[in-house]
Amino acid sequence: MILSLLRITSLLILLSLMAVLMIRTTAQTLAPPLMFSYVSQRDNANWDIHLVDAARRTDVNLTQPHFDGNARSRVPVWSPDGNRLAFVSDNGGQNHIYLYEVIERRLRQLTDDSYFYSSLSWSPDGTQLVASATLSTPAGVRLFDVDSGEERVLTAPTAPVLYAQFSPTGKQILYMTVQEQAATRTLHIYDVTTGSTQEVAQGSFRLVSPVWSPDGQYVAYIDITPQDSTRLYLHIRDVTSDRRLSWQQGLAALGRTVMLDWGEEQIAVSLGTDMLLLRDVQAYLDDEINRMPARFATDGSLAGFKSEPEWSPEGSWLAFAFATRNTQSEIYLMQPDGDPPRRMTFNNINDWAPAWRVVP
């Protein structure tokens, strides 16, 4: 009798342990598979960069242990292999580019100048960084070898450069100049092999958020049109030809902050209070359909301001910052299948600039 009771007790314990293991396994399966970083003011109001493991629910401050109490770190971008984080920080009073080596947990300063760097982008092979730099006079597009630190000035334009990004092939660099007196912005493509520069598009002072398509054939951006200066349009330019497309349905009137990101299958457009997902992009580009189907990503489940959409590398998750008039911005993740967005930060202070990290 006692032996039977012991066997039953042992069996119940085993079943309980199996149930707990199944719950944990299911939770890990449902959790986002990748890591992401973001900028936060939660520690002494500094701008620190945190790394989140979404599956394990860990949140680590990467920059605070290395900087003084007044540093502002920004524009984090991960190397293609996920082993290095590049960002800009004003630690010590000057803006410099830094590299954080994840495996070694080592921080290295890449630049030693006085430029203000507004954007960073990795080459697809992870050996180079391109940056847009300004000071009191335009400083152009600068290319860095991340191992040697060697620097090259690719362009020295007479107008400030706000943005620079490698193409997915690594053969071209897209950058944007600003002509303040003429109230215009111009997109250019620099050919890495030949050193030649091509003007892609010239728009109004409202031209924002230029991005490459995943295959590097197209460039998309937001601007008005000569026919309608009261609303914002999505413009797409085929860089291999003169073909240009404009798409307006559902985009915002002037005055809203609009940002976009082009994923593997969809384009996400943040419109301030709304987030629009554009589907069947390739069919639209191939002239199989005359407009891209669109839907609002959150369908009213998040009433507030959505910004900085960022597709995960494989295109299955979308990260963005969300805030209301009464709350600070937090980071949310969502899948484009209609499931409610998941809140990932709970700092009750400004969190922004989500950047995906591929798990090595």
Rg (CA), the chain: 23
Long-range contacts, stretch 13-17, CB < 8 angstroms, 24+ apart: none
pLDDT of 26:
29
pTM, to two decimals: 0.87
Q: What are phi and psi of 275, to 5 degrees?
A: -130, 120
As a whole number of angstroms, the distance between CA 294 and CA 266 comes to: 10
- 358, with CB counted inside 10 A (0-12, 13-18, 19+), is middle
Token reading at 58: 């860990």
Q: How far is CA 1 from the centre of its chain?
A: 65
As a whole number of angstroms, the distance between CA 130 and CA 154 comes to: 9
Token reading at 336: 């484009």
Token reading at 15: 């079943």
pLDDT digits (tens), the chain, 360 positions: 444 444 444 443 333 333 333 323 323 444 556 799 999 988 777 899 999 998 888 999 999 989 877 899 999 999 999 999 999 999 988 899 999 999 999 999 999 988 889 999 999 999 999 999 876 566 789 999 999 999 999 987 678 898 999 999 999 999 999 887 778 999 999 999 999 999 999 999 889 999 999 999 999 999 987 777 778 889 999 999 889 888 876 576 665 678 999 999 899 999 888 888 999 999 999 988 888 988 888 766 788 889 999 999 988 899 999 998 888 899 999 988 767 899 999 988 899 999 999 987
| Per-residue CA distances from 78 to 52, 176, 184 (Å) | 13, 22, 31
**DSSP conformation class of 339:** P
Contacts of 357 (CB under 8 A, 6+ apart): 34, 35, 36, 37, 51, 78, 82, 85
Nearest CA to 216 out of 170, 280, 257 is that of: 170
**DSSP conformation class of 251:** P
Contacts of 94 (CB under 8 A, 6+ apart): 114
The residue type found at 143 is L
